[in-house]
Amino acid sequence: MTRGEKAAQFFLQGYNCSQAVCLAFQDLTGMDKSMLLRLSSSFGGGIGRMREVCGSVSGMLMVAGLLYGYDDPKDHSAKTTHYARVRALADEFRTKNGSIVCRELLQNCKTTPGGVPEQRTQTYYQTRPCVRMVTDAANILERYIQENPIL
């Protein structure tokens, strides 16, 4: 099963888009499931349903940070390398889907405004591209990891 398929399954179980992508890589992060879910919980719906950066992209980039990120604020080279990685991953998602912004990805979907999450019904899943977004984000990162082994 691909990481994208795992992310889709998690999303269909009710996890938000960011959580679904992060959970698909939990085994690689070394993080406790509950901690990873709490860390990524704020980013669903384009950050707290504000429809900003897609939660799938945020989840992908959080995992990239956990696996490849830097922790020395004075290591300019590591920061530069990581930011290039982040841009490349986001650009691949944007190329595939037309945007990394939730409201733009959902522009053809009827959604309710505000911060209250919508009920996950059959209609919800049928009318939104979100399952495809979590699948794409996880597959992009999975491919990146295969091409750039974690040290």
CB 80, CB 86: distance < 8 Å: no
CB 62, CB 40: distance < 8 Å: yes
Q: pTM for the complete prediction?
A: 0.95
How far is Cα 67 from Cα 54, in angstroms, rounded to an integer? Answer: 20
Phi, psi for 2 (deg, rounded to 5): -75, 165
Average per-residue pLDDT in the chain? 95
In DSSP terms, 30 is beta-bridged to none
Q: Tell me the per-residue pLDDT of 103-143, one tens digit each, with 9 for 90 and over.
A: 999 998 887 777 788 888 888 888 889 999 999 999 999 99
Q: Tell me the per-residue pLDDT of 15-62, one tens digit each, with 9 for 90 and over.
A: 999 999 999 999 999 999 999 999 999 999 999 999 999 999 999 999
Determine the distance from the C-alpha atom of residue 118 to the mean position of all C-alpha atoms in its chain, rounded to a whole number.
19
